[in-house]
Amino acid sequence: MNGSRLVHAELPIVPSPSGLPSQHIVTEHIGATSLFLGQQWLQPGDEVLRHTHPCEEAVMFLAGSGDATLDEETVAIVPGCSLFFPPGVVHGFRNTGTSTMHVLIVFPVPHFAETRMVEPASR
């Protein structure tokens, strides 16, 4: 296999475990064996509920502002920052700004990693 060109506009939008719109870009469906790349959008007031994964996760914030929790610590989110979550760290984030938050998501597995919700949805 020589690789793949992926046009985001042609890929489906699917709900995340928190019920927010997300897009799975690089996955096992295109031949990836050890990488997942996705993106997600949060409108003002939206929140990724606290959860854990059995593997590492990295997220990069391209737009929007808010705050995130890493276990018991709360940190600010701004465009141009990234967060790294080791396996088992309880984490979540929310858009406290006035514009759409755009997030890139990376896992070291070729699918959206197994997710254990810690905080129940209140929606």
Q: In angstroms, how far is CA 95 from the centroid of its own chain?
A: 13
Quickly state the pLDDT bin for 2 (edges 50, 70, 90): confident
Quickly state the pLDDT bin for 122 (edges 50, 70, 90): low
Question: Cα separation of 63 and 47, whole Å?
Answer: 15
Residue ranges and CATH numbers for the domains of the chain are 13-117 (2.60.120.10)
Tokens 């959860």 -> residue: 51
Q: What is the pLDDT of residues 22-54, one digit of tens each?
A: 999 999 999 999 999 999 999 999 999 999 999
For 96, residues 6+ apart whose C-beta sits below 8 A from its C-beta are 44, 65, 66, 67
